[in-house]
Amino acid sequence: MGEQQLRKADRKGGPGHTVLLALALAVPVTKLAYTVGGGDAVRDVLVGMEPANWPDVLVGMVITDPLLGSVLAVVVSRVVFALFAARGAVPLGGGPAGTLRRAALTLVNPIAVGIIDACFFGPWWGLATGLGAFALRQGVVVEYRTGRRRPHQHREQDGAGHGDPGYRPPVWLRRAAGAEQWAALSLTVVVLPFLAFASALDGQAWTGIVECRVTDGTRTGSDRLIELSREGDGVVGWNLDSEQISNGLGCVSEESRYVREPWWR
């Protein structure tokens, strides 16, 4: 991949923003279709959730799947950083000020995503996510400081004056920075989509399943609902027994979120 292509890719967010947008649209619908049965059921669930709650499907998938949530955090961190780096956010000069700015750029966000990940999935997941995000960001910094990539505003200038003239990273770091491109590409276009669709087809609900007292005409019984929203003292949910939207009262949460067998079984 040439320097011009790298610069254009960074300036547009690379393949990451395209993949993230496609996944954000396709994966939640796939999750709904496989979990509740597709067709009219998907439309009924979306109507029952109301538009304000539609993002709950994607959010629920991310915060209940440690591997998916962690890889997504690393990819988003890298895409955002590459986007801003292409616009000149990486300081190239030496001295304490430049060092502090680079440290802030490369450390603050990985620490933040690591803490968030740790809150949801535990300290080891948080540590791995933070280190992964830092490694991919550090690779971008090395590329810009050595002049292999150039900020967007310098695209019309020649090669002189780009990069940090006093910066001479060791050979292993240069090689690691080159490997970072392929690692980021693999995570973005292969690993993340695979994990996202695996989560969509795992047969689990994206939110909690509750057992409620449901009245249907003259019949009152206990049914299992996928909780879509709350109204007053009750729950509006997808009734797994009658396959329709139902209002439930006196609901009790179930431990398992499995609705059906995973697609691959």
The whole model's pTM is what?
Answer: 0.81
- How far is Cα 245 from Cα 216, in angstroms, rounded to an integer? 11
N-to-C CA span, the chain: 40
Among 152, 252, 154, which Cα is nearest to 212's?
252
Average pLDDT, the chain: 81
Task: State the pLDDT at residue 155.
Answer: 47
| 214 and 252 Cβ atoms separated by less than 8 Å | no
What is the mean predicted confidence (pLDDT) over 233-257? 90
Q: Is the pLDDT of residue 192 over 50?
A: yes
pLDDT digit string, tens, across residues 140-190: 776 665 555 555 454 444 444 445 555 565 666 667 667 777 888 899 999
The angle formed by the CA atoms of residues 231, 251 and 254, to the nearest 5 degrees, is 125
No. of helices (H) and no. of strands (E), the chain = 9, 4
Task: State the pLDDT at residue 170.
Answer: 62
Task: State the pLDDT at residue 161.
Answer: 42
